[in-house]
Amino acid sequence: MFRGKGIQHSHDCRELALSDQLPTAHTLDLEQQLCYGLSIAARGVVAAYKPLLEPLGLTHPQYLVMVSLWQHGPLSVKDLGALLALDSGTLSPLVKRLETMGLVRRRRTFTDERQVTISVTERGEEMTKAAEKVHETVVERLGLDPEELDQLHGVINRVIEATIGTLRPPNASGLQPGPPR
């Protein structure tokens, strides 16, 4: 039972009734906080990617941009931002750096000069084999079998679905953060 505000552990019926209304030590344990576990796991997984991405000259966020473009093909900046749950202030420098590296190109659309489409260059396409090995190596290092990996993806997707409104509403094309269904 939570010990605070003068309430001590006792078998008194009145205090047991109060225990339903007060947080227990279990719910306040750091390890029980979803944000803690997810944050530690995310940092660990990103750290596992870092040494594998360095030979490719990519940071983890740049890698995610490339993976999105390899999977979906050319995307507008707006759609790419929605897919990765990144605002334009964060996404634009990533795309500019990838363009400077010769991995992507930005083109204004013919129908709307304000809209920019991002696509992978031939040099960017040449990285796909190495990028596949990055993914395979990280999965191997995590020690998850295929069934566990599928379960993990399922749980992560449910968390993304439950929190999608906290990131941003879906855009006009319907692209949302997270893997496709």
CATH of the domain at 142: 1.10.10.10
181 within some domain: no
172 within some domain: no
104-158 pLDDT tens trace: 999 987 777 778 899 999 999 999 999 999 999 999 999 999 999 999 999 999 9
Reported as a pLDDT band with limits 50, 70 and 90, residue 90 is very high
> Whose CA is closest to 19, among 37, 5, 39?
5
23 within some domain: no
Least-confidence region, from 32-36, 50-54, 168-172? 168-172
9 within some domain: no
9-37 pLDDT tens trace: 444 444 545 455 555 667 788 888 889 99
Mean pLDDT across the chain, nearest whole number? Answer: 83
Reported as a pLDDT band with limits 50, 70 and 90, residue 167 is low
* Per-residue confidence (pLDDT) for residue 62, from 0 to 100: 98
53 within some domain: yes
Q: Is 39 exposed, middle or buried (0-12, 13-18, 19+ CB in 10 A)?
A: exposed
What is the domain extent for residue 93? 30-167
Number of domains in the chain: 1
Percent of the chain at pLDDT above 90? 63
179 within some domain: no
5 within some domain: no
Reported as a pLDDT band with limits 50, 70 and 90, residue 171 is low
47 within some domain: yes
Q: How far apart are the first and last CA of the chain?
A: 43
Reported as a pLDDT band with limits 50, 70 and 90, residue 179 is very low
